[in-house]
């Protein structure tokens, strides 16, 4: 007698992936816009188009942070205290990722 195994294909991403990527990119764009628009003319060594780098890089990295948050969804669905711990770690990781995207966006321009 042979046994049959049912293999189920589990998706790597949830249905909320697009929303989480757009949310991360939107938060990054708003946060970096506050710094870049309020900066004034800036240092002449930065060049005339110094605002382009932060305005492109930070929303892109925010989208990557949203993707990483979506990948951790199965960990947050675990029952009990372990799932709650992963939820707190995911939110903390999201905040740290957004902070690092701001730092990388402003590196070399406002922060030397």
pTM of the full structure: 0.79
Please tell me the distance from the alpha carbon of residue 35 to that of residue 110, in angstroms, as a whole number.
9
**Among the residues of the chain, which ranges form H helices?**
17-37, 52-71, 73-76, 81-106
Residue 1 predicted with pLDDT over 80: no
**C-alpha atoms less than 13 angstroms from C-alpha of 25 in its C-beta half-sphere:** 12
For residue 31, how many other CB atoms are within 10 A of its CB? 18
Residues 50-89: tens digit of each pLDDT: 888 889 999 999 999 999 988 888 888 889 999 999 999 9
pLDDT band at 29 (very low <50, low <70, confident <90, very high): very high
- Residues 89 and 72: their CA atoms lie apart, in Å, by 10
Place 41 in a pLDDT band, splitting at 50, 70 and 90: low
Q: How far apart are CA 96 and CA 18, in angstroms?
A: 21
């Amino acid at each position: 007698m042979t046994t049959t195994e049912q293999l189920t294909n589990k998706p790597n991403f949830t249905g909320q992936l697009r929303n989480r990527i757009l949310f991360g990119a939107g938060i990054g764009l708003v946060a970096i816009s506050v710094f870049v628009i309020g900066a004034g003319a800036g240092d002449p060594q930065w060049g005339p188009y110094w605002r382009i780098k932060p305005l492109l890089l930070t929303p892109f990295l925010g989208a990557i942070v949203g993707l990483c948050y979506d990948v951790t969804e199965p960990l947050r669905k675990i029952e009990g205290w372990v799932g709650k711990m992963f939820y707190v770690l995911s939110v903390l990781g999201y905040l740290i990722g957004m902070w690092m995207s701001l730092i990388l966006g402003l590196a070399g321009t406002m922060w030397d």
